[in-house]
Amino acid sequence: MIYKERMRQALALTDWNEGLGADVFGTLKFTSGWSIKDEDAHRLIKIYWHKLDRLFYGQGLIRKGYGIERIVYLHKGDSGENTHFHFLARPAFSHAQFIPLARHTWQTLDSWTSEAKIERIRSERGSAVYMRHEHNKLGCDTLHVAACHTNAPRHNAADVRSMRQLQRILKHYDSAFLQ
């Protein structure tokens, strides 16, 4: 009975993941996933997404519900102790803009954060299935609800562009790529 229920949940998660229509997949690792405390990992993933939302939208639009649409999962690896995160995202900005800035933001966020593998999705179904592969071990705890953002108002990226946004992005580019 428990197995059937877990499989039903896993299939529902896969369908939900696909429903986002994400086009970016990411893996965010720590310098030592084995020794970072869970509360520190959870704090850092929330800070990471808050920084990206502020970078691309600014505080005013965040208050109105705007943000990068994403689903974030906690994974522990084969050992069950290697903490890292995976995400599916649907940024309303170009991949050429979003991916390098998202990668740089993670890598420079904290002394605990290290590798960030972020790329365009090659298979939507494959990514959706992979995201929930630790569901059998972690159950519902694998979905990191506090870092997810799936109810963003529908908009065109051009509708939320402003001079202030351009300044934020250029400043971030300068610190990321002109060192």
129 compared with 70, residue with greater pLDDT: 70
- Provide φ and ψ at 86, rounded to 5°: -125, 150
The CATH number of whichever domain residue 54 belongs to comes to: 3.30.70
Residue with tokens 């402003």: 162
115 contacts: CB under 8 Å, gap ≥ 6 = 27, 28, 29, 107
pLDDT in tens, 2-53: 778 777 877 887 887 888 888 999 999 999 888 999 999 999 999 999 999 9
Is residue 144's pLDDT more than 90? no
Helix (H) or strand (E) holding 126: helix 124-131
Domain that holds residue 124: 2-177
3-state SS class at 163:
helix
The one-letter amino acid code at 168 reads: R
In this structure, what DSSP letter does residue 36 have? S
The maximal CA–CA distance of the chain, rounded, in angstroms, is: 57
